[in-house]
Amino acid sequence: MGKHRDPEFKEYVAKLVVEEGRVAREVAYELEVPYPTLRRWVSEYKKKLRNGTEKETYITPAELKKLQKQHEKEIQQLREENEILKKAMHIFTKNQA
């Protein structure tokens, strides 16, 4: 009898193959999961995606990097806007004196 894996692990492994384009055989070897089992997990994950029942609970490293870049860009934009507001406030308070 094989190992029983939790659904989160199965989904994470399927995401590695589907969304990051990793080779299924290599992932199966790295994680010591039988290749036919991994193929089944991937097909179940693809069915979930088609049906729209996918929950965003676990993200892959590539998704994490993408989110980090997006957040860094937003932070930089907010900092620039904050500096502009500080300068504008300084100009308006200076003119009132």
What ranges do the domains of the chain cover? 1-58, 59-97
**Residues 10-39: what's their mean pLDDT?**
91
Residues sharing a CB contact under 8 Å with residue 57, sequence separation 6 or more, in sequence order:
8, 11
| Side chain identity at residue 45, one-letter code | Y
| Side chain identity at residue 23, one-letter code | V
Considering the entire predicted model, what is its pTM? 0.56
Q: Please report the pLDDT score of residue 97 as a whole number.
A: 58
**Residues 35-61: what's their mean pLDDT?**
82
Where does 3-54 have alpha helices with state H? 7-18, 24-31, 35-51
Say whether domain 1-58 belongs to CATH 1.10.10.
yes
Of residues 89 and 59, the one with the higher pLDDT is 89
